[in-house]
Homo-oligomer: A and B are copies of this chain.
Amino acid sequence: MSEDVILLAHGGGGLLTHALIRDLFLRHLDNPVLAAQEDAAVVGMPGARLAFTTDSFVVSPLFFPGGDIGRLAVCGTVNDLAMAGATPRHLGAAFIIEEGLPYATLERVVVSMAETAREAGVTVVAGDTKVVGRGGADGLFITTSGIGALPAGEALGVGRLRPGDRLLVSGPVGDHGLAVLIAREGLPLRSRLESDCAPLGGLVAALLDACPGHVRCLRDPTRGGLAATLNEWAAGAGLGMAIDEGAVPVRREVRAACEMLGLDPLHAACEGRLVAAVAPGAAERALGALRGHPLGAGAQIIGEVTAEHPGRVVLRTALGARRLLEMPAGDLLSRIC
């Protein structure tokens, strides 16, 4: 392909659109379903139930330590499927591109998506490309959607939470949010912090295999971080969440950057961590299963579900005090995913 930037005509549905599909998307995301180039992908999906999800990605900058918008778009959707207890299978990817984006930038993103899809064991079977004029969008937005196969039996979900359930996180929180913020703001931190961005299908499978029937609910604490996830669970289940503040793993670099920026690390997004609620008797087994997987090596039990203070998340501090962990207001951390 000779053009070195994306033109409006690449989104017009004609010759250049077809060239872009052939030379870029089909080349890197190659699979028979996508290659059929029908309006809709036809896929096999054994079993009577499936999980289905969609998310847009508008992260700025497009490339950051530990990842890029393409890897993020695959991981985000794969992880939403995995959190439902589903095996991620197929993705759709829709690109909104600003006229003038270097072709090489788009290619780097698509290559990263292809690599991450292989890592996650999914295929990109449907796609779309739109181009808007200069100033109409900021570089590149990607919306991924995904379908996954659900096993028989009760689905994971907030409705299954019970008092006494143990709460676990699979590793340090906030790495993604802070890595993106540091990259975007050009903060003068000598930080080697990288995004935790990773596909979690394998980690979830290991956990579910180790504790069949005992995992109640899973969620990846993305926007709004651990605080948003726990508050959503508390509100959704009408139960309380009691957290040992000192047990929540937070990297030194994340804590330092948060102090500089006046942020709470528990409000910062992860893109490769999960929060799990498991039946009390299965907590140690769950912890072992998570720690036995490369993406869960830093797992910790951080607290429990309680019938006290329903709808609220309470942190027990190292000094024995208690404070409410509130839902973030959300105005500081835009465009981190």
- Give the docked Cα–Cα distance between A12 and B330 (Å): 4
Is the CB–CB distance between B52 and A90 below 8 Å? yes
Is the CB–CB distance between A94 and B56 below 8 Å? yes
- Chain A: interface size category: 35 or more
- The yes or no answer to A72 lying at the interface (CB within 8 A) is no
- The yes or no answer to A324 lying at the interface (CB within 8 A) is no
Q: Which of A6-40 contact B (CB under 8 A)?
A: 7-18, 36-40
Is the CB–CB distance between A45 and B50 below 8 Å? yes
Cβ contacts under 8 Å, A159 to chain B: 36
Residue of B nearest to A221 (CB): B13
Specify which of B53, B126, B329 is in contact with A15 (CB 8 Å cutoff).
B329
Residue of B nearest to A135 (CB): B135
Is the CB–CB distance between B42 and A9 below 8 Å? no
The answer to whether residues A147 and B150 also contact, given A12-B329, A13-B328 and a CB cut-off of 8 A, is no
Cβ contacts under 8 Å, A93 to chain B: 54
- Give the docked Cα–Cα distance between A145 and B125 (Å): 12
The answer to whether residues A332 and B54 also contact, given A37-B232, A40-B86 and a CB cut-off of 8 A, is no
Specify which of B9, B94, B135, B328 is in contact with A54 (CB 8 Å cutoff).
B94
Q: Which of A113-130 contact B (CB under 8 A)?
A: 125-128, 130
Most B CB contacts (10 A, CB to CB) among A52, A150, A155, A225 go to A52
Cβ contacts under 8 Å, A40 to chain B: 51-53, 80-81, 83-84, 86, 146, 148
Specify which of B36, B56, B138, B267 is in contact with A143 (CB 8 Å cutoff).
B56
Cβ contacts under 8 Å, A125 to chain B: 52
- The yes or no answer to A55 lying at the interface (CB within 8 A) is yes
Residue of B nearest to A136 (CB): B138
Cβ contacts under 8 Å, A133 to chain B: 334-335
Cβ contacts under 8 Å, A232 to chain B: 18, 37
- The yes or no answer to A307 lying at the interface (CB within 8 A) is no
- Give the docked Cα–Cα distance between A136 and B9 (Å): 21
The answer to whether residues A157 and B329 also contact, given A50-B45, A141-B96 and a CB cut-off of 8 A, is no
Is the CB–CB distance between A53 and B228 below 8 Å? no
- The yes or no answer to A58 lying at the interface (CB within 8 A) is yes
The answer to whether residues A228 and B56 also contact, given A42-B84, A48-B44 and a CB cut-off of 8 A, is no
- The yes or no answer to A165 lying at the interface (CB within 8 A) is no
Cβ contacts under 8 Å, A38 to chain B: 83-84, 157-158
Cβ contacts under 8 Å, A138 to chain B: 132, 135-137
- The yes or no answer to A185 lying at the interface (CB within 8 A) is no
- The yes or no answer to A63 lying at the interface (CB within 8 A) is no
Can you list 6 A-B pairs, Cβ within 8 angstroms, ordered by A? A13-B222, A17-B224, A38-B157, A39-B220, A40-B51, A136-B335
Closest 6 CB pairs of A and B: A12-B330, A13-B223, A14-B330, A13-B224, A145-B145, A54-B92
